[in-house]
Structures are given as structure tokens and as C-alpha cells.
Amino acid sequence: MTLGIGSLSSHHRSNESDPLSTTTEPVPDTETGAEPDRADARRGGLLRWGILVLLIAVILAAGGYVGWQLTRGADDSVVSQREQVMSAADKFVGRVNTYGPDDIGSDKKTMPEYRKNVGELLTPKFEKNFLSNVAFAEATVAQQGVGRTTNVHSTGVAGLDEDSATVLVVAELAVSYPKSEGSKERVEAARQLARTEVDLVKQNGKWLVDDWYPAEEAPKSDNSEGTTP
């Protein structure tokens, strides 16, 4: 009997220390714990890519807007310059071709206000040329009472760059003189359309006339009055 019990006890102890025994302590599931970490990493990567794509889109949109603004600014500048040169040419043609007895000064020979009004539209070089030739017009006014009026019909820019321009102006010119000596009543002697080419240069931020060339002037009949050829 003693042998049997010892054998059973020995067999029981051998089972406890048997490494091949199927009875083992529970081990933590490391694979299951790694899954949330990988999911978080994927979500973080997607978020970073999303932010990057958004930043690129914002940069591209901003670049496109800046480019559009620069183009728009350039277009606006050209339009503004065209308007300025046309206005300067219109003003010159109107002033240089409009004068009469009322412009004669106290010396009874010259037209000082006419000289001033036209001269302020000219470059210094061209103003000298203008003043050296204005005496003929002043003589016709002082001696014969001749008067001229101008009505600008149309203006077009023929050439334009940063500091020079050429403008074509079509204006209707009317010449009149006193009906009789000392008379206030005036008679219209002629009416014609004049095509004028005006050269301008930009000096100190202002467009000034540097030369002009009266082009063909065709007599205008009463039937065609008000039309532009």
C-alpha cells in the first residue's frame, strides 16, 4: 500500500513540472493590442495628407488670385493711359484752334491768354516752336477780326508706350469774321473737318504735346455736317 501511494504522489509531481503539460498560465494577447495602434497611425497619416492637400490648394488659389490681380492692374493701367493721352490731345486740338477778337490783350496785338492756355499743354521744346509761330494767327485776329472755333468729333490712339503716344483727332473747324468793320455781327467764312496727328510724351507724370501735324482737311458741305469721315 505504501508503494502505491508513493507512486501516485510521484506521478502527480511529475505532471506539475512537465513542460509539455497542456495546463499553462494565460499569456497577454499582444497582437490584439497592436491593432488599435496601427489604426491610429493610418488615421494620422490620412489627416496629414488631407492637410497637405488643403494647403496646396490654398497656395494655388492664392497664386492664381495674385496673378489675376497683376493682369487686371496692367490692363487697368493701359486703359488709364489711353484715356489720359486722348484727353490731352483733345484739349490741345480744341485750344490751339479756338481763338478770336476777345483774346486780344491790352497791347492790341497779342493773345496772352491764348498763349498761356495752349502753352501749358506743350513740352518746353514745342512751346518755343509754338510761340515763334503764333504771331501770324494773332495778326489775323488783331487786324481782320478773324475768329476760329473747334468741335472735336473723334479721337483714337495710334500708338502708345510707357512715355510716348500718337493720337489721331478729327475736329470740325469754323472760321468767321466781322460782317463789316466794327460790327459785332459775324459771318462764317468756312467750315471744315481737320484730321490732326498729335505726338505726346510723358514728362514728370504728365502727358504733354511734343508736335502735331495737320492732316488732310476736306471742306464740309451743309448736307454732311455732323458726320465723321
For residue 152, tell me if it sits in a domain. yes
For residue 144, tell me if it sits in a domain. yes
Give the domain CATH number at 147.
3.10.450.540
Of 173, 169, 229, the residue nearest 195 (C-alpha): 169
For residue 35, tell me if it sits in a domain. no
* DSSP H/E element including 172: strand 164-178
Write the DSSP symbol of residue 207.
E
3-state secondary structure of 16: helix
For residue 13, tell me if it sits in a domain. no
pTM comes to 0.63
Q: Which domain holds residue 136?
A: 74-214
User: What is the number of structural domains in the chain?
Assistant: 1
Contact 148, 98 (CB under 8 A): yes
For residue 175, tell me if it sits in a domain. yes
pLDDT at 211: 95
**Tens digit of each residue's pLDDT, the chain (229 residues):** 444 444 434 444 444 444 444 444 554 454 555 555 666 666 666 667 767 776 676 676 666 655 555 555 555 588 999 999 999 999 999 999 999 999 999 999 999 999 999 999 999 999 999 999 999 999 999 999 999 999 999 999 999 999 999 999 999 999 999 988 877 888 988 888 999 999 999 999 999 999 998 765 433 434 333 323 3
pLDDT at 104: 96
Grid coordinates given for 113? 491768354
For residue 67, tell me if it sits in a domain. no
Write the DSSP symbol of residue 122.
B
